[in-house]
């Protein structure tokens, strides 16, 4: 099992190669991806790129956590806190 290093909300962590960003968020102990307009925490729901609930900012670009595989050095930020 190969581990890769990345950061989630600025915190360094190691995850298994091949997992999605949604899985990495879940494994980090706090699976929410973003804060909604009505200030509710949201997390991956459909897991297949349809519901758009798991939008996060990866290396500065908004993407779907469930449709993005973790890569070494990724910077993952939870979105919607602007």
Partner 1 sequence: MATADAIVIGAGIIGAACAWQLAQQGLRVLLVDDQLPGATAAGMGHLVCMDDNPAELALSSYSLNLWRGVVDRMPDNCAWQGCGTLWIAEKPEEMAIAEVKKQRMAALGVNSEMLSSQQVAQLEPMLRGGLAGGLHVPGDGIIYAPNAARWLIEDAGEAVQRVYGEVVALEQQAVVLASGQRLSAPVITLACGLQADKLLPTPLLRAKKGQLAITDRYPHTVKHQLVELGYGASAHAAKGTSVAFNVQARPTGQLLIGSSRQFDTLDTAIDMPLLATMLKRATDFLPGLAKMSIIRCWAGFRAASADGLPLLGPHPAYPWLWLALGHEGLGVTTALGSAALIAAQIQQQRTAIDDTPYLAARMFATEESLL
Rg (CA), the chain: 12
Positions in 19-78 near partner 1 (CB under 8 A): 37, 52, 55, 61-63
Q: Which is nearer to partner 1, 1 or 37 (CB)?
A: 37
Cα gap 49→27, rounded to integer Å: 19
Beta carbon nearer to partner 1, 15 or 54: 54
Question: Measured between alpha carbons, how far is 59 from 18 in angstroms, rounded to an integer?
Answer: 18
Query: Toward partner 1, which CB reaches closer, 11 or 61?
Result: 61
The whole-angstrom separation of Cα 20 and Cα 69 is: 4
Site for partner 1, rule CB under 8 A:
37, 52, 55, 61-63, 79-80, 82
């Amino acid at each position: 099992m190969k581990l890769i290093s990345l950061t989630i909300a600025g915190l360094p962590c190691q995850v298994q190669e091949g997992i999605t960003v949604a899985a990495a968020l879940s494994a980090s102990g706090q699976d929410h991806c973003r804060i909604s307009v009505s200030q509710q925490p949201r997390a991956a729901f459909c897991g297949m790129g349809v519901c758009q609930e798991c939008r996060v900012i990866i290396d500065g670009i908004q993407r779907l956590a469930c449709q993005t595989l973790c890569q070494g050095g990724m910077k993952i930020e939870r979105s919607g806190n602007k």
